[in-house]
Amino acid sequence: MSSKTLYDKIWETHLVSEKEDGTALIYIDRHLIHEVTSPQAFEGLRLAGRKPWRADANFATPDHNIPTTTDERKLGLEGIKDPVSKIQVRTLDDNCAEFRIFELKMTDDRQGIVHVVGPEQGATLPGMAIVCGDSHTSTHGALGALAHGIGTSEVEHVLATQCLMQKKAKNMLVRVDGQLNTGCTAKDIVLAIIGKIGTAGGTGFTIEFGGEAIQALSVEGRMTVCNMAIEAGARAGLIAVDEKTLDYIKGRPFAPSGELWEQATQSWRGLVSDADAAFDEVVVLKAEEIEPQVTWGTSPEMVAPITGNVPDPALELDPTKRGNILQALEYMGLKGGTAIKDIRLDCIFIGSCTNSRIEDLRAAAEVVKGKKVASSIEVAMVVPGSGLVKRQAEAEGLDKIFIEAGLEWREPGCSMCLAMNADQLGEGKHCASTSNRNFEGRQGFGGRTHLVSPAMAAAAAIAGHFVDVRELG
Amino acid sequence: MNKFIVEKGLVLPLDRANVDTDFIIPKQFLKSIKRTGFGVNLFDEHRYLDKGLPDTDNSHRPINPDFVLNQPRYKGAKVLLAKDNFGCGSSREHAPWALEDYGFRAILAPSYADIFFNNCFKNGLLPIVLDKAIISGLFTEVEANEGYELEVDLEQQTILKPDGSKIEFSVDAFRKNCLLNGLDDIGLTLEESETIRRFEENWRNSAPWYFTTTSATTI
């Protein structure tokens, strides 16, 4: 038998049929649903008189639109001030009720960002094929599942057929050797990877992240890495299953238990690439060389270490790249050559499916503990990824640390990562954000996003500008 | 889905790499629960000078005269000429919906982001990959010649230029067939229902731990 990558193995176990040109049907074990990309799919089902193929494979929760202030959330659906958002959330409730789909509603303690809630509930399991109408579905690959984002037509297709039509991607291994320096995190690893291979570097590939530094990460850290596989162009990111993966899953509500758990784990332990498996492309990074990362531009690949500078377009010889840099600097209101540490901030956002889990909040709290947010910071908010993350953080007293330092403590949701709700970055304002995209207007019309780790965002909140988290006492 | 056989029309050059789907259709318009009506907000943040809001009249908003879409010579364009990694970022299908609703039928670019590329085919919009050098040549020709049109023939897999020369392109056989005939993916897949059922039964037997989940939880 020839050697296989982890991706090859999951693909093969889910292959229902394949046409001559390679177009295949892949069986989907778990379909995650949120309010933004699903209404048209449910409407399509209704118009065609179709029913979900397997209602119990679906799992829904609203996250993109919902308010994060406690006052608004207390009132449930009626608390959503924006009437258009309210309709969308209500439509999800109605569709889930009509088609008998499990939903954690916005008033449920377990509600949260779908990519935080899925793994938290054990709805994400190793070896599954998972889809969701959301590009950050790649997050779930951290548990050894083949997971990627799909469009709304595909949401409808999966609802109706339990299958996804697609061609197999190529295999890429991104290996991060060695040990990460203190103060550097999973976020810095993945930003460094994107800086190296570019936002289209992974297009057409499924990326497996491996190597000593990836193995050393917690499961939550691995989720941060896989979450941003899409920012490197790859629809899916994957990490091999190990004992940490199994420990993470054990006992979660949707995970198997008893005899079935034993059988499942026996199977899941094989979810690793064979030692001599061939990858179409291999990229290697040294963990020791990775410093805390900060994006300066309007694409996640426009990233520099905290010790570095914003690039000087005059020094870029390639005219296309120079043009891209100029365009980004103009939007960001930055001058070429500026030290990253000299970038002043107006807003701090700690949250999103990239960095809103309990470990992220602990890391941020540790930095701000006993300190005060700089007076020049206009808005600083912490938005936990789920109701359960929020409860855990409160049990540990993290909420008090944040509030005493001057950060707002919010209710769970996507919030200012994409600013579909009221949490929007002001025009021209600079935000240190633990989210995943620094595109123009992403966090609000005219807003200027700098992607960083939770610890770096917290440190920036105190200083009012970027600082090297490694230099804090 | 709309069929795509032959489409001829004005070409609009969008000279920018890594155009993301937030750029194509900003998030506030994703609150709609419909599939239509996104065209008027295509490229909203660049097309207008103010901030757009959903469910509002766009006809009195200040236009950005410098943005290519607002230049009279490109009015009514059907072919979008773009640069590398077009459609990166969010998986929102609202992006192809907005392009299609505006009137675009084909996109020419050196490369696309995977999810966007896939989404286009579901909506009768044809994304064509061409060599960088060809794209670059087309940018020069389009910008130099007002009224520059291309005719995209999917059956023949050719693009006819105004000078009579042709550019060949490749496309997946399956996707081509779906577009030519306006076929619905779901209908096609459901023809394989028996195969899916058999697969599912075997999978349920060999990996039962994936099938016990929601039944254990109260819906």
Does the pLDDT of residue B214 top 70, yes or no?
Answer: no
- Please, are residues A48 and B186 in contact by the beta-carbon 8 Å criterion? yes
Kindly give the parts of chain A with pLDDT less than 70: 1, 473
Are B185 and A17 inside 8 Å of each other by CB?
A: no
Tell me how many residue pairs between chain A and chain B have CB atoms under 8 A apart: 205
Which residue from A219, A281, A279 is spatially nearest to A8, judged by alpha carbons?
A279
The reply to whether residue A167 touches residue B172, judged by beta carbons under 8 angstroms, is yes
Q: What are the start-end ranges of the H helices in A333-397?
A: 358-368, 387-395
Strand partners, A250: none
From the list B17, B192, B213, the residue facing A324 with the nearest CB is B17
Q: Which of B91, B208, B215 sits opposite A135 (nearest CB)?
A: B91
Nearest-angstrom CA–CA distance, A360 and A190? 15
> What's the helix, strand, coil split of chain A in %, to 5?
40, 15, 45
Return mean pLDDT, chain B. 95
B213 has a pLDDT exceeding 70: no
d(CA A218, CA A240): 13
Cβ proximity of A413 and A85 under 8 Å: no
User: Per DSSP, what are the bridge partners of residue A32?
Assistant: A59, A132
CB contact under 8 A, B31 and A91: no
pLDDT digits (tens, 9 = 90+) for A300-352: 999 999 999 999 999 999 988 999 999 999 999 999 999 999 999 999 999 99
**Residue B56, pLDDT score:** 86
Q: What is the pLDDT of residue B55?
A: 83
Confidence at residue A286, expressed as pLDDT on a 0 to 100 scale: 98
Name the A residues in 130-189 with CB < 8 Å from any B CB. 133-135, 148-154, 156-157, 160-163, 165-167, 169
Across the interface, do A160 and B209 touch by the CB < 8 Å criterion?
no
Antiparallel, parallel or unpaired: β A347-350 and A379-382 = parallel
The closest CB to that of A439, out of B23, B217, B219, belongs to: B23
Our CA-based measurement puts residue B103 at a distance from the nearest CA of chain A, in whole angstroms, of: 20
Mutant choice from A65, A87, A165, A449 vs B, greatest count of B C-beta within 10 A:
A165
Q: In A251-352, where do the E strands start and end?
A: 281-286, 293-295, 303-305, 347-350
**pLDDT at B215 > cutoff 80:** no
Residues of chain A in contact with residue B172, where contact means CB-CB under 8 angstroms, are: 21, 23, 167
From A21, A37, A82, residue closest to B173, measured CB to CB: A21
The sign of the torsion formed by the CA atoms of A178, A183, A187, A192 equals negative
- Whether pLDDT at B218 is above 50: no
Decide if B219 and A102 are in contact by the 8 Å CB cutoff: yes
pLDDT digits (tens, 9 = 90+) for B8-21: 999 999 999 999 99
Q: How far is B164 from chain A (nearest CA, A)?
A: 30
The three-state DSSP-derived secondary structure of chain B is CCCCCEEEEEEEECCCCCCEHHHHCCHHHHHCCCCCCCHHHCCHHHHECCCCCCCCCCCCCCECCCCHHHCHHHCCCCEEECCCCECECCCCCHHHHHHHHHCCCEEEECCECHHHHHHHHCCCCEEEECCHHHHHHHHHHHHHCCCCEEEEECCCCEEECCCCCEEECCCCHHHHHHHHHCCCHHHHHHCCHHHHHHHHHHHHHHCHHHCCCHHHCCC
Query: CA-nearest residue of chain A to B34?
Result: A40
The predicted structure's pLDDT at residue B216: 42
